[in-house]
Structure 1
Amino acid sequence: MISIAGAGVSGLACAYELAKRGTEIQVYELGSAPSDNPCSWFAGGMLAPWCEGETAEPEVVRLGIGALAWWRQITEVTERGTLVVAQGRDRAELARFARRTENHVMLSANEVAQKEPALAGRFQQGLFFGEEAHINPRQALVDLTAAVQALGVVIHYDTPAPDQVDVDCRGLAAKLPGLRPVRGEMAVIESHEVEITRTIRFLHPRIPLYLVPRSKGIYMIGATMIEGSSSGPITVRSMLELLGAAFALHPALGEAAVLETGVGLRPSFDDNMPRLTQIGATTHVNGFYRHGFLLAPAMAKRLCAQLLQDKTHANQSEFEPC
């Protein structure tokens, strides 16, 4: 039997991969429901490894390539790619993004309009990453919880983990040396005047924005990555920046209703890469930065290779896709 502390996306992914291999799993979670994991609950849900390559290490791209196929087993995946755009005065930002990433095509203004008619006439160029996708992270977390329970995993909600566990996936609560919080802020808006069907990354030298469709007329927007440990409500400045960038993407979003705001503290090491860290008898799976849904599947398989000597993955380096 293997015990796991934490039922966020990382802990559940580890439980799923271990249980698939016939291991009995017990998960301990202080919260009472999947929604009590703010890092996972407030995530964007973008399965966008090539876009992340713009600022992340190449290992993030390699780790994340297999995430789309993994999540297809669990939940609904919207496979419509990622569209990256910038205003005319920020065209240099688009060119820089293109140089730093791979697996994209450059679109003309007409091609941008064909992909997203709501953006017709607004952007002269765009980058399209056709093999990327997105999920609704909240539904995905609920579906992953159901999937692990169907494999016989027992999740003990409202229950502190024992002093000694085999796997620790508690994020910042694990208090690992070198782990720091990175604050992410988001808003959920509703607009029936603008219909967008895929993830949009709107480049701006100061306030890059991503917009992810959740359901008809509902969008999640996010942009901020703030070094700091405060988990308080979203700040006025951040809210103004988020909504201002959304308005610049499409003026009709200025009439959108703000349904929800949220803040999550993302556990991150100095290189913003996830790690398997052995301390005593406990293996810590931590440091996902803003890549939890993208990288959890590969790191869970890596954990299996370490704990179970899984020959399928034992010869792979830590950051190769599993």
Structure 2
Amino acid sequence: MVNSPESHPQILIRGAGVAGLVTAVSLARHGASVTLVESGPKIGSGASWLAGGMLAPWCEAESAPPEVTDRSLSSLSWWSENVPNVVSNGSLVLAPARDTGEISRFARRTSHFREITGPEIAALEPDLADRFARGLFFPNEGHLDPRQALPALAERLIMLGGRVLTDHEASTFTDAFDWEVDCTGLAARREIPDLRGVRGEMILLRCPDVMLSRPVRLLHPRIPIYIVPRANNIFMVGATMIESENGGPMTLRSMSELLNAAWVLHPAFAEAEILEMGAGLRPSYVDNLPAVTRNGRKIQVNGMYRHGYLLSPWLAGEVANMVFG
């Protein structure tokens, strides 16, 4: 270990997913000298690259423990302060006519929403006019595009004096730093045997004939689906969670469910271009709550589950408290 002043510690961070990047920027803002090391060829590889990027603490309360909402209330402001193109237009929750009972169930489990009817849905999203009779609007939520946000965080870290190294193994650096922060997800299983993988799936579509201003969660009794708008008429369609350790290619059934959900939202998606399909495993603990643990001068940030973008700012604050006291 080097003997740095406590106000300017030398910190090695392993893993350039959302947890590693957010932690790196947060520590650099506190005055640390940060080196971020990624063993893969680029920043943002893995589950972080395939994520929807929804900043929706109130919607997540439908299935997540209250700690997730409590710890993520400031996430939208953190992202807005640190990366460009964060959208704060809220979230919309809808259901097909046969599943409108799911709207009531979702409402019972959440808060900070407004119940809306067809005309209000049309006012928020004109392209959905006359398609849904009832929904929930969560005005205090937002979203971002991970494929813009993650590179922007890397640039922010460099502007703060940090280093970003890809295709690099951290082992050659360990003894040169005051602290080591491991944000490598499932790669840390040797040290954290309690981790499990939860499968996430996504499809990217380009559809010039549909315009959305905010994420839409389309409720279904088996697998809720979300559709997140991005720039250039691109939409990310994903499933919120699938309990499976299979990280292989997407199945025909999953692909059909995601594409059918887009079509149910708006028939024009039937003519959309399929740009990309992907599946990956999210690192998760048994309680589905991310955690920060410490052993001496080594800190583990892991178990992001589906809350990486929501909870990374809070987790980074916990790391900063350990480093700076």
Provide TM-score, normalisation by structure 1: 0.93
Q: Which runs of 4+ in 1 moved over 4 A?
A: none
Query: Which SS does the other structure have where 1:83 is aligned?
Result: strand
Residue 147 of structure 2: SS of its match in structure 1? helix
CA drift at 1:88: 2.1
Aligned to 2:78: 70
Shift of 1:280: 4.8
Number of the residue aligned with 1:43: 51
Structure 2: unaligned runs, 5 residues or longer: 1-9
Query: Deviations 1:125-175 (Å, cap 9, x if unpaired)?
Result: 110000100001110001000001111111221111127561100000011
Give 1:6 shift: 0.8
The 5-angstrom pairing of residues 105-116 of structure 1 reads: 105-116=114-125
**Deviation for aligned residue 1:278:** 2.1
Structure 1: stretches of 5+ with no match in the other structure? 310-322
2:5 alignment partner in structure 1 = none
Query: 2:241 is paired with a residue of what secondary structure?
Result: strand
- What's the CA shift for 1:279? 3.5
Distance 1:237 1:224, change over 3 A: farther
Equivalent position of 2:94 in the other structure: 85
Q: Equivalences for 1:88-237 in 2 at 5 Å?
A: 88-162=97-171, 164=174, 166-175=180-189, 176-223=192-239, 225-237=241-253
2:251 matched to 1:243? no
Give me the identity figure in percent. Answer: 48
Match of 1:84, SS state, is strand
- Give the match for residue 6 of structure 1: 15
Q: Write the distance in 2 (CA, Å) between the matches of 1:267 and 1:293.
A: 14
Q: How far 1:74 sits from its partner (Å)?
A: 2.0
TM (norm. structure 2) is: 0.92
Match of residue 318 from structure 1 = none
- Say whether the 8 Å CA contact 1:10–1:169 is kept in structure 2: yes
What is the SS of the residue equivalent to 1:227? coil
| CA deviation after TM superposition for structure 1 residue 195, in Å | 1.2
Which residue, 254, 257, 260 being the options, matches 2:276?
A: 260
Instruction: Name the CA shift for 1:280/1:305 in 2 (closer, same or farther; >3 Å).
Output: closer
